[in-house]
Structure 1
Amino acid sequence: MALVYTAGTFDLLHIGHVRIIRAARGFGERLVVAVSTDELVAAYKGRKPVVPFDERLEMVRALRDVDAVVAQHDQDKFAAWERMRFNVWLVGDDWFGTPKYEEYRRRLEAVGVHCAFVPYTSGVSSTSRRHDAGASAS
């Protein structure tokens, strides 16, 4: 039975999030989704998400394709594998070719994990929606 793992912020839940989760589900029988904590998001994006962590966890948990939801306290995908021993790691192809994600891929493939980069839904992101909402409010 293949265990699939993906992770994200999942702030301002949108169609891009749904598509990546749907795609991930197609790679195995069980899907674990890691949701980044507010502190982690603040550390790498320089601001906290609009939707608080507990609410983002609950929203992702409610999606029918998701079997389990865990907190993501750091971005280290190999450390996540050490904890969960997933068979498939899935991420949007907007990360393809970046040094950090190529290193994750190299290390994960070395232990037999299938790494999949799926199409990113361009033009749709929580960051752009947040920016657009701020621009319309002014």
Structure 2
Amino acid sequence: MKVIGYTTGVYDLFHIGHLNLLKRAKLECDYLIVGVTTDELSEFRKGKRPIIPFTERMEIVEHIEFVDEVVPQTNMDKFEAWNNWKFDKMFVGNDWQGTEKWNELERQFAEVGVEIVYFPYTTHTSSTKLREILEKL
């Protein structure tokens, strides 16, 4: 059986943490679908637009050899994503593990046979840290 994996991110100021998450995700599945957050959703959720425009972030992720398909993430509804792509595993940074929201998502997804897989968050590099450095220049 072909295992389909799914993960999402803004992927602004693409860095090694992004690459490592996608690489590890591909080791856990046969086909990896990556949702790239739109500029509008990012601005709504974080109060700021990404530095790299959406179409360019999509193109960057599309050219990563272990990503099989790239799709826009236009909202935070993970079940809508599952209805669209019927993935078997969803990959998330472990900074979300144990939160009320993700505990509930784990319960809901278990009912449809989806496993949530948490990967270590890259603490030494993040788009937020890179943005802060750029804003100081």
Q: Residue type of the partner of 1:68?
A: E
Shift of 1:113: 0.6
Shift of 1:88: 0.5
- Alignment partner, residue 85 of structure 1: 86
Shift of 1:128: 1.0
The answer on 1:26 being equivalent to 2:27 is yes
Shift of 1:41: 0.2
Q: Residue type of the partner of 1:122?
A: T
Which of structure 1's runs of 4+ aligned residues deviate more than 3 A?
Answer: none
> Kindly, what percent of the aligned residue pairs are identical?
41
CA distance in 1, matches of 2:59, 2:104: 31
Structure 2 gaps, min length 5: none
- Alignment partner, residue 62 of structure 2: 61
- Alignment partner, residue 4 of structure 1: 5
Shift of 1:123: 2.1
CA distance in 2, matches of 1:20, 1:87: 17
Structure 1 gaps, min length 5: none
CA distance in 2, matches of 1:131, 1:47: 13
CA distance in 1, matches of 2:103, 2:36: 21
Specify the SS of the correspondent of 2:35.
strand
- Alignment partner, residue 134 of structure 2: 133
CA distance in 1, matches of 2:55, 2:75: 17
Deviation per residue, 1:60-98 (Å, 9 max, x gap)? 000000000000001111221111110010101011112
Deviation per residue, 1:101-128 (Å, 9 max, x gap)? 2222211111101110111111211111
Specify the SS of the correspondent of 2:122.
coil
Q: How many equivalent residue pairs?
A: 136
The answer on 1:74 being equivalent to 2:75 is yes
CA distance in 1, matches of 2:47, 2:102: 20
CA distance in 2, matches of 1:19, 1:73: 24
Specify the SS of the correspondent of 1:100.
helix
- Alignment partner, residue 41 of structure 1: 42
Question: RMSD value over aligned CA atoms?
Answer: 0.8
Give TM-score scaled by structure 2 length: 0.96
